[in-house]
Amino acid sequence: MSVPTLATDRPVCTPLPVLGCDVRVPLVTGGEVTYAALDYAASAPALQRVWDDVAAYAPYYGSVHRGAGYLSQLSTELFENSRADVAEFLGCRDDDQVVFTRSTTDSLNLLAAVLPAGTRVFVFETEHHAALLPWERRADVAVTYLAAPRTPAQAVETLERALAAREPYGTALVCVTGASNVTGELWPVRELAAAAHAHGARIVVDAAQLVPHQRVDIAELDTDWVAFSGHKLYAPFGAGVLAGRADWLRDAEPYLAGGGASRRVARGAAGEVEVDWHEGVARHEAGSPNVIGAYAIASACKALTEAGFDRLAERERELIARVREGLAAVPGVRVLSLFGPDAPSVGVLSFTVDGWNSSHFAAALSAEYGIGVRDGLFCAHPLVRTLVGGASSADGGCGSDEGAPLNAIRVSFGAGTPDEHVERFVTAVGELVRDGAKWSYRTEGGRCVPVA
């Protein structure tokens, strides 16, 4: 595969420039086109501002926390300032902690590791696997799975009933998404937090799909923790955040044992190793931290704040309306939804197309139109299967399997998406449904690919 070229006209991504807006990719039908990145829900492109900030810092990169040299001192200050910037971005309370992790998945696994023994976790079956699965790994933690609600009010009612029916002792934790990675629908976080606290439970919000699109304020929402990933927030380099209450983090054994988490290590009288662990954020940040990843997140937080979330959200609502209007005009296209078409959402939509296997449709969008989307079950298998309703795939070309579960196609976008990308996508969906694919495709490694 050859390296893509860059466009000569250097298109501007509004309202925030992102890397990749000038990348041109080949089409199987001939020629090249500027790539339309519409898979933001998986990984958003890096903001140009973030890339420039990281590039400016890179020559000064050094070890963190224990280095005596100038670059080490500078890097340590930058790392800790990044923590403070993220805390401000999230509206953290004075006694909250911001722990840098690898991702949302890592953040929620960290929280699962520090739960007090005997905790009962309440989680909706609609969650991303990162929020659905970590709790079962603890033998001393119980999990109650809640059925998919069909309205925000029903979500609150379902949670209240479940919490009221639990044992009147022990700790409890509610885990819920802020915005669905499948439908983009906003969940009633503030109301769910109030219900949790009224029943003596705590709540963690999977904010991976929320923080790139709307302002998240921990104190205002009254949540105990939020978790998110930098790569969803226009920040590359593989870092994430768990932010919120400090007590469970402080009282638990370190998530990882090693340098940085330990304050003092000595040999005991009987030859054993005695360890005193740090009590602050260092307790769960063993090893050399991802300084560039943390700085990239902080840079993205500043850029989004300065751009103004109200302005960004208003434009995104216009893009969502355009996509919904375009898909509604195409016969056989069904947009997936829990709460209905009028429910508030972020720039994430999933849909099915009658007569098409999802892998075939996504492959055609890429190969024939230069549009990148996602297809499948989106690491939220129970939710997608609930929304699809147990339908079977029709014979739509490569990748189809008569009687197999029908997957979905997901389009997602954000602050760096040009209007033209959305217009091209809507046009492409209509043409593929009306005229069919222009190229032949085959299955390779479980994926649909163009025939060479």
Count of CB atoms situated within 10 Å of the CB of 136: 12
- Written as one string, the DSSP assignment of 69-92 is SHHHHHHHHHHHHHHHHHHHHTT-
Q: How far is CA 356 from CA 34, 185, 260, 318, 352, in A?
A: 26, 25, 52, 28, 8
Residue of 13, 92, 301, 379 marked active site: 379
Alpha carbon dihedral 385, 390, 395, 400, in 10-degree steps, equals: 40
Of the candidates 43, 9, 1, 45, the one whose C-alpha atom is nearest the C-alpha of residue 26 is 1
Q: Is 398 a catalytic residue?
A: no
Asked whether 315 and 15 are in contact (CB, 8 A), the reply is yes
Of the candidates 330, 376, 344, 130, the one whose C-alpha atom is nearest the C-alpha of residue 229 is 130
CA–CA gap between residue 103 and residue 106 (Å, rounded): 5
Helix axes 152-165, 189-198, angle to 10 degrees: 20
Positive or negative torsion for Cα 425, 429, 430, 432 = positive
Asked whether 122 and 146 are in contact (CB, 8 A), the reply is yes
CA–CA gap between residue 244 and residue 96 (Å, rounded): 5
CA–CA gap between residue 335 and residue 348 (Å, rounded): 11
Mind telling me the catalytic residues?
Answer: 379
